[in-house]
Amino acid sequence: MPEEDDAELRKILERKKAEYAAQALPGTGLQGSGEQLVTELNDSTFDSYISSHRAVVVDFWAPWCAPCFLISPIIDDLAAQHRKIAFARVNADESPETASKYYVMSLPTVMFFLDGQEVDRVVGAVPEEVLEERVQWLESRL
Amino acid sequence: MARVKALMLGVDSLTYKYFMKCNSRNLLTLLDTTFRGVTENRTLQNPASAWLTVLTERETQVQGFLQKAPELPVVSETKATLINVPITNPTLGSPSFTMDPSIDIKDEVGNVVNAALEALDSGPVIAAITALERVAIPNICSLYDVIDSAVRKLVLAADEFIIFSPYGPKATSGYDPYGVYLASRPRPNEHETVKLWEIGRVFTIMVTRK
DSSP string, B3-47: PP-EEEEEETT--THHHHHTT-HHHHHHHHHSEEEEEE-SS--SH
Chain A contact set for B18 (CB, 8 A): 27, 73
Interface of B with A (CB under 8 A): 15-21, 31, 36-38, 40, 138, 178, 180-181, 190-193
Question: How are beta strands A55-61 and A86-91 bridged, if at all?
Answer: parallel
Average pLDDT over residues B72-93: 97
Write down the pLDDT at residue A36: 79
Q: Which domains does chain B have, with CATH numbers?
A: 6-208 (3.40.720.10)
Contacts of B151 (CB under 8 A, 6+ apart): B9, B11, B26, B27, B30, B163
Chain B contact set for A22 (CB, 8 A): none
Write down the pLDDT at residue A17: 46
Min Cα–Cα distance to chain B from A2, Å: 34
pLDDT tens sequence across B150-204:
999 999 999 999 999 999 999 888 899 999 999 999 988 888 999 999 999 999 9
Write down the pLDDT at residue B137: 80
Chain A contact set for B188 (CB, 8 A): none
Rounded distance between C-alpha atoms, residue B27 and residue B13, angstroms: 15
Question: How are beta strands A86-91 and A38-41 bridged, if at all?
Answer: parallel
Nearest to A69 among B138, B178, B192 (CB): B178
Rounded to whole angstroms, what are the CA distances from A132 to A76, A81, A137, A139?
Answer: 12, 10, 9, 10
- Pick the catalytic residue from A38, A41, A55, A68: A68
- Pick the catalytic residue from A21, A62, A65, A119: A65
CA atoms within 13 A on the CB side of A21: 13
Q: Is A65 a catalytic residue?
A: yes
Local confidence band at B136 (pLDDT 50, 70, 90 cut-offs): confident
Taking CB atoms and an 8 Å limit, are A64 and B191 in contact across chains? Answer: yes
Residue B114: count of CB within 10 angstroms of its CB: 13
Taking CB atoms and an 8 Å limit, are B21 and A64 in contact across chains? Answer: no
By C-alpha distance, the chain B residue nearest A30 is B172
Taking CB atoms and an 8 Å limit, are B20 and A63 in contact across chains? Answer: no
pLDDT tens sequence across B20-76:
989 999 999 999 999 999 999 999 999 999 999 999 999 999 999 999 999 999 999
By C-alpha distance, the chain A residue nearest B17 is A70
Q: If you write DSSP's letter for every residue of B171-194 in order, what string do you get? A: -SSSB-SEEEEEESS--S-TTSPB
Size (chain B), residues: 210
Write down the pLDDT at residue A23: 43
Q: How far is CA A94 from the centre of its chain?
A: 18
Write down the pLDDT at residue A67: 96
Average pLDDT over residues B81-104: 95
B185 touches B6 (CB < 8 A):
no
Reported ipTM exceeds the 0.95 cut: no
Local confidence band at B10 (pLDDT 50, 70, 90 cut-offs): very high
Q: Which of B39, B194, B16 is nearest to A71 (CA)?
A: B16
Write down the pLDDT at residue B73: 97
Q: What is the pLDDT along chain A (142 residues), one digit of tens a residue?
A: 444 456 666 655 555 544 444 444 444 454 445 567 999 999 999 999 999 999 999 999 999 999 999 999 999 999 999 999 999 999 999 999 999 999 999 999 999 999 999 999 999 999 999 999 999 999 999 9
Q: Which of B72, B37, B74 is nearest to B164 (CA)?
A: B37
- The answer to whether the bond into B90 is cis (omega within 30° of 0) is yes
Helix (H) or strand (E) holding A13: helix A3-24
Rounded distance between C-alpha atoms, residue A124 and residue A108, angstroms: 5
Q: Is A68 a catalytic residue?
A: yes
Min Cα–Cα distance to chain A from B76, Å: 30
